[in-house]
Structures are given as C-alpha cells and as structure tokens.
C-alpha cells in the first residue's frame, strides 16, 4: 500500500500559537503494488476495519483498492484514493464551540483532492467508560452528530462517509451555548475566534508521502 498521511497527531493551533488539539489523517492510494487491506491490518485494527467496510472482501489480497458494491452505490464517482479521518481530539476547554468541525473541514479541503471519499468511525478518544455502555453510546452519538454537521453520512458498521463529489465539507459551527436565561455565554466568543482563525488552524497539516507495508497511518475519534 502507498499512503499519504498528515504527521501523526499533528497539533492544531490558533494563529497566535494557542494549542487547540491534535488530529491525524491517512490517505490510501487506489493504485498500488500492495493489498490495501493487508497494509491497513499491519498498522491498526481501526484503519483495517474502515478499509474492510469500504472494500470487497473477495479482493482483500489483490493489490490496490477494490470497492464493495455498497460503497460504489453510495459514492458518486468511486475512482480515486480513500482519505481516512483517523483521529481528531480537541482540548476540553475548547469543546462545545464547533472548533472540531471547523478544523476537520479545513483539513479535509486541504487533503481531499484526488480522493473519491473521506471515511471515519466516530468514537470517544478519552474517558474511562468501563462497563457504562449507555454512556459510551451517548458520547459516540454526540460525536457522530458533529461529523454529520461537516457532511459525513452513516454508511455501514459504524463507518461514516463524505462524498467530495457531491458536497464540500461544511464549516458551519453550531450556535454558541446559551444559559438558561437565553443569553449567550461569554465563552461563546471562542467560537467566533475560531471562525476568524480557521485558515491558521493547521499549519503542520500537509500531505506527506510514504511507501511500503508499514507506513504511518492514524485514526479518527
């Protein structure tokens, strides 16, 4: 498998240098000498699952990407690379203002040319849920709604897809949180700040090339 990835867990910052969080993407090439499934499996189970959901298992050991019939029905033009939004983690003090959606949309716009789809699997990146399955599912559903606001739609087995041929990733941030009295909280100014600085959120996020069965890959959560 040939892949292009952003630097692992690339740090996102405002233009003034204030850290916001980390994110990582992996780009899986359509035409390559290695089976995409085998290379994904050698990296992490998360990447392997997303590739497996999107591809035809009958061609798992055939070099390159071979889309499943369901994937080809969902994606308008299923010819090109697959961009996987592997991990997006926003620091706690910046959560709730739409910054994660803004950063993800900006990163996708930079990395998506040449890709027929963007895939992710929404799930929490932190928090010890233990046996609290309802709590985990509630957190997972909340994260899924954030990615839906960017343009992702549920596909199969927890994997979400965004078709860049049909729409551009949205940068519309959700409204600022409001107090019980209906007034906007002072912290909502952070959301406005994120809008003005969105072009500077990802200074380190530029596609890099890697070749071979053990190249870098990451995960979305």
Q: Is residue 16 part of a domain?
A: yes
Give, to the nearest 10 degrees, the angle between helix 99-111 and helix 133-150: 50
Q: What distance, in Å, lies between the first and last C-alpha atoms of the chain?
A: 23
User: How many independent structural domains does the chain possess?
Assistant: 1
Q: Which domain holds residue 93?
A: 2-211
Give me the chain's average pLDDT, please: 74
What does the alpha-carbon distance between residue 95 and residue 186 come to, in Å, rounded to a whole number? Answer: 14
Q: Is residue 219 part of a domain?
A: no
Q: Is residue 218 part of a domain?
A: no
Q: Is residue 188 part of a domain?
A: yes
Nearest by Cα to 84 from 168, 169, 5, 167: 5
Q: Is residue 44 part of a domain?
A: yes
Per residue in 130-145, pLDDT (tens digit) is 667 788 888 889 899 9
Q: Is residue 110 part of a domain?
A: yes
What does the alpha-carbon distance between residue 207 and residue 197 come to, in Å, rounded to a whole number? Answer: 21
What does the alpha-carbon distance between residue 89 and residue 92 come to, in Å, rounded to a whole number? Answer: 9
| 92, pLDDT greater than 60 | yes
Neighbour count for residue 141 (Cβ, 10 Å): 10
Per residue in 164-191, pLDDT (tens digit) is 988 666 644 444 443 333 333 334 344 4
**What distance lies between CA 116 and its chain's CA centroid?**
14
| 5, pLDDT greater than 70 | no
Q: Would you call 129 helix, strand, or coil by DSSP?
A: coil
Neighbour count for residue 4 (Cβ, 10 Å): 22
Q: Is residue 92 part of a domain?
A: yes
Backbone angles phi, psi at 120, to 5 degrees: -155, 165
Q: Is residue 66 part of a domain?
A: yes
């Amino acid at each position: 498998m040939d892949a292009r990835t952003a630097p692992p867990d690339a740090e996102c910052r405002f233009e003034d240098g204030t850290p916001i969080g980390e994110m990582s993407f992996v780009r899986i090439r359509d035409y390559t000498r290695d089976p995409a499934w085998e290379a994904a499996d050698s990296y992490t189970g998360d990447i392997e699952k997303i590739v497996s959901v999107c591809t035809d298992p009958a061609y798992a050991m055939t070099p390159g990407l071979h889309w499943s019939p369901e994937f080809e029905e969902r994606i308008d033009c299923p010819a090109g690379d697959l961009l996987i939004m592997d991990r997006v983690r926003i620091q706690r003090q910046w959560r709730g203002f739409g910054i994660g959606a803004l950063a993800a949309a900006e990163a996708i716009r930079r990395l998506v040319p040449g890709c027929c789809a963007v895939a992710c699997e929404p799930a929490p990146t932190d928090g010890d849920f233990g046996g609290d399955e309802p709590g985990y599912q509630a957190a997972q559903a909340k994260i899924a709604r954030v990615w839906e606001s960017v343009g992702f739609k549920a596909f199969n087995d927890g994997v979400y897809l965004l078709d860049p041929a049909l729409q551009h990733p949205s940068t519309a941030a959700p409204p600022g949180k409001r107090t019980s009295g209906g007034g906007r909280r002072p912290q909502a100014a952070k959301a406005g700040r994120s809008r003005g600085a969105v072009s500077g959120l990802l200074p380190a996020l530029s596609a890099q090339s890697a070749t071979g069965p053990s190249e870098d890959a990451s995960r979305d959560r």
